[in-house]
Chains A and B, each alone.
Chain A
Amino acid sequence: MSRISTFKRGGVHPADKKFLAKDSPIERLPIPEELIVSMSQHLGAPATCLKKKGDTVVKGEKIGTAASFISAEVHSPVSGKVTDVRKVRLPSGVVADALVIKTDPEQPEMYTERFDWQNLSTQELLAQIKEMGIVGMGGATFPAHVKFSTGGKPVEALVINGVECEPYLTADYRSMMERAEDTLEGIMILAKILNPKKTIIGIEHNKPDAIAHLEEIIAKKGYPIEVYDLKMKYPQGDEKQLLVATIGKEIPSGKLPLDVGGVVCNIGTAYAVFEAIVLHKPLFERVMTVTGEAITTPKNILAPIGTKASELIAYCGGFNTEEVDKLVSGGPMMGFAFADEDTPTCKGSSGLLALKAEPLTKGVCVSCGKCVAHCPIGLMPNRMFRNITNANYQAAMDLGLMDCKECGCCAFICPAHLPLVQGFKLGKKLGRKKK
């Protein structure tokens, strides 16, 4: 069952660029010699570090524990020795504590046994999800056990996000093609926890084979899941836009998806839930797309968290040009540019892009109004940016600055190529301080 639907307001159509990596099957990265595992792998308070310099760690051992309600556990991806505890700067700009782990040459074979979950209660399932450190894999890394604790509120629809609307990224797509059965089992586990009236998987129209493949397996297993074929438009994969496209509800400002009866979950998180419940495996590795015009052989790689960007780039044949302009963690629209090639990956790192330079002529705002027309939230980026440039942060906040999701549609379409999203990030910080 599928039909094409989408959100109505705003959105842009960047070039897809998925051809670079989409036919590359998932490859497991050979375990690097050194991993830098940060304690801040999730939204909320960084985990409290449980190890110190000189300790040995075992693969799958907990090395960081949740520091508050909104926090998550962190586990070691490898067996090895902690050689250092130091600060690391993550691509988002956050500076966090991290364990530098020297990996043992021999790694144990683990997590091959499958456990039954049909008889577990919701509490037990949620506790296991928390214990295994599951966070949202779409990039936001919200602790999953917190999101799935609905507190008794009814769930109209569980919407699984297989949209992957960011250009270049193909990790979720490959996961759907190669790990469909396990992912679907993970979705059924979530359905057991949340008890939704409907379970929907949303997939963008540019992945017809994924849609067909999932529908085939759903039919075979008889799962009560519907696959929705969604029109290609960025940011279709944002939870607000996804809920409009699937259940037709708009989340008001300041509210959560659950307030309109929806729970949105990335398809990679569903697979991580499968691993946690069925294999009792913590979240310490993930599929990421290493791609971009400046990478010799773009690939989809299954890599442990804490892998340095340089390792991934080397595994893909290195750069194919001298003029690499940007390294981006995540997608080109909302990802973070970083400069240090030894920056480690995290649970939320869906991609690593190496991009070539493209000349852009910067200009001034000419009030063309394209940003207003394309903003999916209905804000006025031109007025907000003007206020922020003039240090009028309160005026920008009054225009709804906090509702800005930093999706980048306005900056993408701006003919003057103004740094709108950067301005809004700054404005949010300073606007909040002024209170």
Chain B
Amino acid sequence: MDIRKSMLYVFIALLPSALWGVFVFGLMALVVLVLSVAAAVATEYVLARITREDNTVNDLSAAVTGLLIGMNMPPHVPLYIPIIASIFAIIVVKWTFGGLGCNWMNPALGGRVFVFFSFTSAMSSFTLPRGAVDAASSATPLSAVKTLLSNGTAYTSASEMSGFSVLDAFIGNVPGCIGEVSALLLIAGGLFLIYTKVITWHIPVSFIGSFAVLTWLFSDLRCGQGFCIPMGDLLMALFSGGLMLGAFFMATDWVTTPTTPVGMIVFGIGCGFFTFLIRYFGSLPEGVSLAIILMNVATPTIERYIKPKKFGYVKPVKAPKEAKA
């Protein structure tokens, strides 16, 4: 097992969901994906030539970053946007800090968030799955519910308000970014990565688990601008948005996450917590990318203070306090 092989496995694990996105959203999605990967790989190659480093394109990390960026794009996004995102991710997020292994923020997420805030309306326009010849625009389930609530509509159920069922969300028959819609294929890819020992179960389980617990605990409460989901809609919350893509593929990025099992669980819980906060209290419909970036920032601290319990660890006995004279 080396870095290249692990990156290859990640790429393979992402493909089913990416191809599903092409299937339901049309060939433009494929163009977006190809451009994202090409832009990322080309940028990496040029930087390696300029700085005279060994050809780092071979370790496939740029290709994976490119694919993740592509999968985070709406299917009919103007083509300059994924290109800008990929170039930003490789140059600014990865190489200015020293290249592979030195970045502190997930490059794909950094690129995505950069273009999201720079081109918000383009990044928020989605299309219906298997759209008609003229792809009609539609809102993702999450944003549909949020918009209705902020308009004063009473909350009934996420499925009713958005017009999509839980099954739609699970299989991927909902509007959304190219690679984030099919929870089924993303979970399958994630399990493949756990089986091949590229990632461990700690982060996906603690991320999804803590988010689920928080959503379930605070169900039936109205909170701020956001909404809280009755217990029956928990699955809808889990399968909507970028949670599955984030939990299995972004939050498990090696470079920007802790290396100890306990640290990983703390990281996952933090991601779940912030996703919950942003989704239900924030004005944005989606919280996963920002939540993960926030926890990336916390990773060095987690690494410093959470260490594995050493072999033969003996609890130090506190010396009794001396009696003051």
Chain A interface (Cβ within 8 Å of chain B)? Answer: 9, 240, 250-253, 255, 360-361, 363-369, 371-373, 375-380, 382-383, 399-400, 403, 413, 415-417
Contacts and interface: CB of A to CB of B under 8 A. Distances in A.
* Contact count band on B: 20 to 34
Contact of B259 (A253, A361, A382, A415): A382
B312 A368 contact: no
Contacts of A399: 307
Contact of A365 (B1, B58, B101, B308): B101
Contacts of A382: 259
Interface in B243-295: 254-261, 264
B52 interface: no
B255 A367 contact: yes
A403 B256 CA distance: 27
Contacts of A366: 3, 100-101, 254-255
Nearest to B256: A367
A415 B308 contact: no
A377 B309 CA distance: 9
A361 B303 CA distance: 27
A363 B261 CA distance: 23
B121 to A, nearest CB: 36
Interface string B300-315: 0001000111111110
Contacts of B5: 415
B138 interface: no
Given A364-B101, A380-B307, A416-B2, A373 B261 contact: yes
B59 A363 contact: yes
25 contacts: A250-B313, A251-B311, A252-B313, A253-B310, A363-B59, A363-B100, A364-B99, A364-B101, A367-B254, A367-B257, A369-B258, A369-B260, A373-B200, A376-B311, A377-B310, A378-B309, A378-B310, A380-B259, A380-B307, A380-B308, A399-B307, A403-B311, A415-B1, A416-B2, A417-B2
B43 to A, nearest CB: 19
Contacts of A375: 308
B259 A400 contact: no
Given A250-B311, A252-B313, A368-B254, A380 B260 contact: yes
A379 B310 contact: yes
A364 B103 CA distance: 12
A16 to B, nearest CB: 18
Contacts of A417: 2
Nearest to A372: B259
Contacts of B1: 413, 415
A395 to B, nearest CB: 11
Of all A-B residue pairs in the complex, the 10 with the closest CB atoms, nearest first, are A369-B259, A250-B312, A252-B312, A368-B254, A378-B308, A364-B101, A378-B310, A377-B311, A252-B314, A366-B101
B6 interface: yes
A363 B6 CA distance: 13
Contacts of B58: 361
Given A361-B4, A361-B58, A378-B310, 14 more contacts: A250-B311, A250-B313, A252-B314, A253-B312, A367-B101, A368-B259, A369-B264, A372-B260, A373-B261, A379-B308, A379-B310, A380-B308, A415-B2, A416-B3
A400 B310 contact: yes
Contacts of A378: 308-311, 313
A383 B260 CA distance: 11
A205 to B, nearest CB: 22
Q: Which label, helix, strand, loop or mixed, suits the secondary structure of the A interface?
A: loop
Given A364-B101, A416-B2, A9 B254 contact: no
A415 B311 contact: no
Q: Which label, helix, strand, loop or mixed, suits the secondary structure of the B interface?
A: loop
Contact of B6 (A372, A376, A415): A415
Contacts of A400: 310
Nearest to B304: A383
B312 to A, nearest CB: 4
Contacts of A255: 312
Contacts of A252: 312-314
Contacts of B312: 240, 250-253, 255
B112 to A, nearest CB: 21
Nearest to B5: A415
B2 A383 contact: no
A85 B264 CA distance: 58
Nearest to A405: B311
A136 B102 CA distance: 44
A279 to B, nearest CB: 39
Interface in B91-111: 99-102
A331 B254 CA distance: 31
B220 to A, nearest CB: 39
Contacts of A363: 2-3, 59, 100-101
Nearest to B264: A369
A66 to B, nearest CB: 31
Given A363-B2, A364-B101, A372-B260, A240 B311 contact: yes
A58 B314 CA distance: 52
Contacts of B310: 253, 377-379, 400, 403
Nearest to A380: B307
A60 to B, nearest CB: 41
B99 to A, nearest CB: 7
A383 B303 contact: yes
Contacts of A240: 311-312
Contacts of B264: 369
A112 B100 CA distance: 65
Contacts of B2: 360-361, 363, 415-417
A351 B2 CA distance: 29
Contacts of A371: 259
Contacts of B257: 367
Contacts of A376: 311
Contacts of B303: 383
A403 B307 CA distance: 15
A150 to B, nearest CB: 20
Nearest to A363: B3
A380 B309 CA distance: 10
A399 B307 CA distance: 9
A248 to B, nearest CB: 12
A418 to B, nearest CB: 11
Interface in B52-106: 58-59, 99-102
Nearest to B314: A252
